[in-house]
Chains A and B, each alone.
Chain A
Amino acid sequence: MALLQISEPGESTAPHQHRNSIGIDLGTTNSLVATVRSGEVVCLADEDGRSLLPSVVHFGATGTVVGSQALELQSSDPLNTISSIKRMMGRGREDVSQLGNVVPYEFVVSAGSKVPRIHTRSGDFSAVEISAEILKALHDRAVQSTGGDIDGVVITVPAYFDDAQRQATRDAATLTGLNLFRLLNEPTAAAVAYGLDQNADGLIAVYDLGGGTFDISILRLNQGVFEVLATGGDSSLGGDDMDHALGEWIIEQGNFGDINTGLARRILLAARNAKEVLTDTNSAEIVIEHEQQRWQGRIDRDQFEALIQPLLKKTLTACRRALRDAGISKHDIGEVVMVGGSTRVPLVQAMVGEFFTREPMCDLDPDQVVAMGAAIQADILAGNKPENDMLLLDVLPLSLGIETMGGLSEKIIQRNSSIPVTRAQEFTTFKDGQTAMSIHVVQGERELVSDCRSLAHFELRGFPPMNAGAARIRVTYQVDADGLMSVSAEELTSGVTADIIVKPSYGLTDVEIESMLRASMDHAREDIILRLLKEQQVEASRVIEAIDAALAQDGETLLSESEIAQIREHRDALEAVIDTASVEELKRLIKAIEDASEAYVARRMNASVKQALAGKQIDEVDV
């Protein structure tokens, strides 16, 4: 954390160096990492040339593996092999207990935590920690491939992700030690990969049919601003369902009698294989060999298409609904972007094309398109393309409200407001003599709080007792450019305040994150510790420089003598041990300076943002 600004406005930084940046598509079934190299977007592959990393983590007796190796162990060790973890991100106990019917894992919620964890032989892990394992694997791949440190990353999230889910994704990045530039909506990333941001204004449909999920998003591009007008889909519909449909057909044809798990697996694999063959040819041969049984058959494309048509019709129903939510007709759509491996199936392209009455865009690899868009955005944010002034402006996906009397949600920030955004609203007390007010932050479009997602509860306490209706409590919601929010409340007649960064009700507490970070640090290699030490020393000297510069500039006007002496004392303590102290010690001393100069920083900020926002004062909230 920077303490104080030391560079003069307009002063340019060091000459530009290329900075390594990556884009990550953290998917339900597969994840990818991409980067921009000499102006070309490339998805980074593993030693075997595969760019898709199955989003599966296996906790083995001898260590943790991620990706295809983990996937191979899924059937033999299901309880210690975690897949589809994205579905649990930012979710609480009730949500995952619903998932309990679908996944075999054993969930535990420990005392003092609201976060459900999955019990494995290596310990209990939250969705954030498991996602961090996947991010780590992708990061390692990127480091190997680019041959250097990664300066920053853009991670994509579904457009409909709420604050809790976005926060969980951000936490996973923090835990991995990644410098997260920005979270980016997946459909927006796909549109960027196709260069649609360069286009004239218009409406874009992004049709994303993955292995196990279907998403449709309607975007509006207006003067460089991508707005998500509507999203829809089916969280349990995807390419796997096509394999199942074909598998059932094979079973009908084959007369296999009793089907055990091994045979079922063979059949599904053969079905998937045939599906892929049928993408380029008109018929496919299917051979099933299992124990004593052997079956051989042939399926042509027409037969296959008849099998999957009902599934695809379901996706079009979801498209129709999304268009209705967006308040537009399908003829208004200017471009249709195809995402997800299952959109390779020719019938998918044909039906989507027919529905929207235009040729869908599918020139780019549909598995890679989201990661590619993320990489392009990361490259721009890293400052590698000073001539490119693309700016993606985003909107809030779901309204943010506050619980009012009667369990109703009063919207403070409407969905589709451009972000970042700050809104304040005043409330009053309900009872005579009331000295505290409970604030419940919710997200969602519905009227009833019980139909919205609960993000946080907090209390504003200790304002003087007044008659009902006399207190004036201003609640301020702020949403940053990632769509993450912070809240503050102030009783205006007394000036009593309370600030919180919204930690979603189901989120990890800072203490939890820190202890996880520490745990991951324990396992880190020595060079990482050395690097951390180096970084901390640099940070320490920067803090000392900043303090000196600030004190020289306005220390005497803004601080009393004793305040200056106190700050100096901490500063000198840090300087004395800068080359000898441990990382932890340096952190502690830096923190001590920051604490000692907290009031000073605030005064400096106030001095520079003096006439704060023309009467609409925004409280300083760390974001």
Chain B
Amino acid sequence: MQSPDFSQNYFELFGLDPVFELDSRRLQAEQQRLQATYHPDRYISADERDKRLSTQVASWVNQAYETLQDPVKRSRYLLEISGATIPDDSSTTSDAEFLMEQIELREEVETCRHSDDPLQRCEQIETRLEQRADQLAAEFVSHFEAGELDTAMSSSRKMQFIQRIQQQLSELQFELEDN
């Protein structure tokens, strides 16, 4: 088995430009092509070294794919390979305005179930969150392209927060639909 070049970054591995906006169909097609080449199923009868190496490479490809496929992880990864320092998850934002927005959004989701038509209310919030996510992604792109890594980082963290709220909301939706 010919080992791929492990020094490549995820974008290089997938043959994609290191930009935020990427062609998800190409990403998926590349993921399949890489797994078709390196997955351990292709080395069932190979020697131990190749088996081990294929497990390593396939894990690496999986990790790369998961990172690139998710907008929040992708944005962080872009910052990482551009040399920005990534603060850990526990550090807090000092952006007072965004803090207020966080609190409001949380409350809205939490009070949603008590409204007259909770499902419809959920949909409204959902649309708003989608718009907000798009807006933040655009912010991220413009900061990142201008080389303003710190502000880009801040947009990325806001994207992460919106993503969490979106997950909470979809859990609530399933729960409501169920009853």
In the complex formed, the residue of A with least CB distance to B60 is A613
Tell me the bound Cα distance from A324 to B1 in angstroms. 43
Q: Answer whether residue B23 sits at the interface, using C-beta atoms and an 8 A cutoff.
A: no
Question: When chains A and B are docked, how far (Å) is the Cα of A9 from the Cα of B48?
Answer: 15
Q: Is the CB of B58 within 8 A of A420?
A: yes
A614-B50 in contact (CB<8A) = no
Question: At the interface, yes or no: B55 with Cβ under 8 Å from chain A?
Answer: yes
Nearest B residue to A182 by beta-carbon distance?
B41
Tell whether, in the assembled complex, residue B40 and residue A223 are in contact, meaning their CB atoms are under 8 Å apart. no
* Residue ID in chain B nearest A486 by CB atoms: B55
Asked if A1 and B48 make an inter-chain contact with CB atoms under 8 angstroms apart, the answer reads yes
Q: Is the CB of B178 within 8 A of A420?
A: no
Give a binary string over B16-32; 1 marks a CB under 8 Å from any A CB, 0 the rest.
00000000000010011
Given known A-B contacts A421-B63, A614-B7, A391 and B35 have beta carbons under 8 A apart: yes
Chain A contacts for B53, CB-based, 8 A: 608-609
Q: Does A49 contact B (CB under 8 A)?
A: no
A106-114, A163-171, A381-389, A530-538: which lies at the interface = A381-389
Residue of A nearest to B52 (CB): A623
Q: CB of B91 within 8 A of chain A?
A: no
Check A613–B6 contact: CB distance below 8 A: yes
Residues of B within 8 A of A605 (CB): 49
B28 cross-chain contacts in A, Cβ below 8 A: 223
Measured CB to CB, the nearest residue on chain A to B36 is A391
Q: Does A283 contact B (CB under 8 A)?
A: no
Asked if A608 contacts B3 (CB within 8 A), the reply is yes
Let me know if A420 and B2 touch, CB within 8 A.
Answer: no
B62-112 CB contacts (< 8 Å) to partner A: 62-63, 65-66
Are B55 and A480 in contact (CB-based, < 8 A)?
A: yes
Q: Residues of B contacting A418 with CB < 8 Å? A: 62, 65-66
Q: Which residue of A lies closest to B42 (CB)?
A: A391
Contact between chains at A383 and B45 (CB < 8 Å) = yes
Query: Among the interface residues A10, A151, A613, which one has the most CB atoms of the partner chain B within 10 A?
Result: A613
Decide: B174 and A327 in contact? CB cutoff 8 A: yes
Q: How many angstroms between the C-alpha atoms of A223 and B35 in the bound complex?
A: 11
| A478 and B55 form a contact (CB under 8 A) | yes
Shortest distance between the CB of B59 and any CB in chain A (Å): 4
Say yes or no for A498: interface residue by CB 8 A criterion. Answer: no
Residues of chain A within 8 A of B47, CB atoms compared:
2, 5
Contacts of B36 in A (CB 8 A): 389, 391
Name which of A4, A324, A418, A610 has the most chain B CB atoms within 10 A of its CB. A418
Within 8 A of B (CB), among A172-207: 181-182
Q: Does B9 contact A (CB under 8 A)?
A: yes
Cβ A419 vs Cβ B52 within 8 A: no
Q: A418-B66, A614-B6 are in contact. Are A5 and B49 (CB under 8 A)?
A: yes
Q: Evaluate contact between A392 and B32: CB separation under 8 angstroms.
A: no
A-B CB pair tally, cutoff 8 Å: 96
Interface band, chain A: 35 or more
Cβ of B162 to closest chain A Cβ, rounded Å: 19
Contacts of B55 in A (CB 8 A): 420, 478, 480-481, 623
Of B1, B9, B62, B174, the residue contacting A614 (CB under 8 A) is: B9
| Complex Cα gap A324–B35 (Å) | 31
B53 to A, closest residue via Cβ: A609
Measured between C-beta atoms, what is the minimum distance from A615 to chain B in Å? 10
Interface string of A596-611 (1 = CB under 8 A from B): 0000000001001111
Question: Which residues of chain B are near A610, meaning CB under 8 Å?
Answer: 6
Per-position binary interface string of chain A over residues 481-507, scored 1 when its CB falls under 8 Å from any chain B CB and 0 otherwise? 100000000000000000000000000
Q: Please name the residue on chain A nearest to B10 by beta carbon.
A: A614
Does A84 lie at the interface of the complex (its beta carbon under 8 Å from any beta carbon of B)? no
Q: Which residues of A contact B62 (CB under 8 A)?
A: 417-421
A541 contacts B by Cβ under 8 Å: no
Q: CB-CB < 8 A to B52: which residues of A?
A: 620, 622-623
A609 in contact with B56 (CB, 8 Å): yes
Please determine whether A9 and B1 come into contact, CB atoms closer than 8 angstroms.
Answer: yes
Is the pair B41, A421 in contact by a Cβ cutoff of 8 Å? no
B146 beta carbon closer than 8 Å to chain A: no
A327 proximity list for chain B (CB < 8 A): 170, 174
Tell me which residues across on chain B come within 8 A of A422, comparing CB atoms: 56, 59-60, 63
Which B residue's beta carbon lies closest to that of A4? Answer: B49
Expressed in whole angstroms, the minimum distance between the Cβ of A589 and any Cβ of chain B is 18
Task: Give the residue of B3, B39, B65 whose beta carbon is less than 8 angstroms from that of A481.
Answer: B39
Cβ distance A357 to chain B, nearest Cβ, rounded Å? 17
Interface residues of B in 151-179 (CB under 8 A from A): 170, 174, 177-178
Q: Which residue of B lies closest to A482 (CB)?
A: B40
B2 A391 Cβ-Cβ under 8 A? no
Chain A residue contacts of B1, Cβ below 8 A: 9
A567 to chain B, nearest CB (A): 17
A152 interfacial by beta-carbon distance below 8 Å? yes
B residues near A620, Cβ cutoff 8 Å? 52
Smallest distance from the beta carbon of B72 to chain A beta carbons, Å? 15
Q: Give the Cβ gap from A202 to chain B, nearest Cβ, in Å.
A: 15
- A393 interfacial by beta-carbon distance below 8 Å: yes
Q: Cα distance A283–B15 when bound, in Å?
A: 65
Q: Are A481 and B41 in contact (CB under 8 A)?
A: yes
Task: List which A363-393 residues lie within 8 A (CB) of chain B.
Answer: 381-383, 389, 391-393
Interface centre among A419, A420, A618, A620 (most CB of B within 10 A): A420
Is residue A612 contacting chain B, with contact meaning CB distance below 8 A? yes
Closest to A320 in B: B178
CA distance A478 to B52 in the complex (A): 11
Extra contacts, 4 of them, besides A1-B48, A613-B56, A618-B59 (Cβ < 8 A), are A417-B66, A418-B65, A423-B63, A623-B51
Q: List 12 A-B contacts (CB under 8 A).
A: A2-B47, A4-B49, A5-B47, A9-B1, A9-B2, A224-B32, A324-B178, A391-B36, A391-B41, A420-B62, A421-B63, A616-B63
Closest 5 A/B residue pairs (Cβ): A2-B47, A9-B2, A481-B40, A611-B7, A422-B59
Interface of A toward B, CB cutoff 8 Å: 1-2, 4-5, 9-10, 151-152, 181-182, 223-224, 324, 327, 329, 381-383, 389, 391-393, 417-423, 478, 480-481, 605, 608-614, 616, 618, 620, 622-623
Binding site for A on B (CB under 8 A): 1-3, 6-9, 28, 31-32, 35-36, 39-42, 44-45, 47-53, 55-56, 58-60, 62-63, 65-66, 170, 174, 177-178
